[in-house]
Homo-oligomer: A and B are copies of this chain.
Amino acid sequence: MDDIESAAEVRYTGEKGLEDALRGADALFVYDFLSTAVPRAWHAADRMRWVHIASAGVDPVMFPELRESDVVLTNSRGVFDDSIAEYVLGVVIAFAKDLPRSLELQRQVRWQHRETERVGGKRALVVGTGPIGRAIARMLRATGMSVAGMGRRAREADPDFGSVHASAELTRWLPEFDYVVAVAPLTGQTKNMFDAPAFAAMKPGARFVNVGRGELVVTADLIAALRGGELAGAALDVFDTEPLPPDSPLWSMENVLISPHMSGDFVGWRNTLVEVFAENFRRWHTGRPLRNVVDKQLGYVPSGQ
């Protein structure tokens, strides 16, 4: 932050103090992207022109006052792509190779041979065609999986996905896939898209991976599908309430892998996030176009930016 401090007055604040800090400020760097403090303090933002968020998903700052304002919103697109893709591939292989069971048997000092699944040849649907979804698709494909994407519009010959199916046809396509990966931005269109009909449409034995947002999923329906065997497993890095409440049945389900919203957070990520902000600050300060400008109507950075 040194370069920025030499070019601007920088105010560091937590939730307490945010109102005072916003007053008179031209730009806001939302470093704790899960904080809900910004909407509540926003009324004090009397000359705000630019908000940058240290995340790929911008849903935490898509409150109406910001959305409908002229304030420019930018995100940290690109930082998490490859680490999230590695995480997704890791949980796919963990499911296929029965790794959680191996660890449990190890804890019990039990030697129990099993036959496990191949990954190669299996089919994965990546729901979300932004840069993270693309990195996931490339990674899964590299191991011999067959991958398709799902986005707003169906299209063919996509460089990363091959086929992209339309999300309006979700339940039509779900039966074809062994793994379904949710990585769509959270918008009015995608909220609750994984509900009971979606889980019912999945192939027997299918597994669900969520590295997007918890609110893409109707959690009660997910739990019912796991209990009912419609879903063979789920790897969940995000939840509609975070931290996941201790009384959630997900914690103790055998076929569920829980991680605490960390799939993208590689060693060094915090510095990288600050660098992404600093680069945009230099652009802003010198009047050049900002990178990763969010289309506030869509709720994400459109492709091609």
Residues of A within 8 A of B (CB): 82-83, 86-87, 89-91, 93-94, 96-97, 99-100, 102-103, 105-106, 109, 111-120, 139, 142-144, 242-244, 246, 251-252, 256-263, 265-269
Contact = CB atoms under 8 A, between A and B. Distances in A.
B262 A118 contact: no
A188 B263 CA distance: 44
Given A102-B257, A105-B260, A142-B143, 20 more contacts: A82-B120, A86-B93, A86-B97, A86-B120, A87-B97, A89-B93, A90-B96, A90-B99, A99-B99, A99-B257, A103-B103, A106-B251, A111-B243, A113-B260, A113-B261, A115-B262, A115-B265, A116-B265, A116-B267, A117-B266
Q: How many copies does the complex hold?
A: 2
Contacts of A93: 86-87, 89-90, 93
A47 to B, nearest CB: 34
Contacts of A251: 106, 109
A86 B266 contact: no
Nearest to A87: B97
A139 B260 CA distance: 28
A143 B265 contact: no
13 contacts: A86-B118, A86-B143, A87-B93, A90-B90, A90-B93, A90-B94, A94-B99, A102-B259, A106-B256, A109-B252, A111-B244, A112-B260, A142-B142
A237 B37 CA distance: 49
A97 B83 CA distance: 9
A115 B261 CA distance: 10
Contacts of A265: 113-116
A113 B82 contact: no
Contacts of A242: 111
B267 A143 contact: no
A185 B250 CA distance: 43
A166 B261 CA distance: 43
**Residue among A252, A261, A267 having the largest count of chain B Cβ atoms under 10 Å:** A267
B260 A115 contact: no
Contacts of A266: 115-118
Contacts of A246: 109
Contacts of A112: 260
A9 to B, nearest CB: 31
Contacts of A116: 83, 87, 262, 265-267
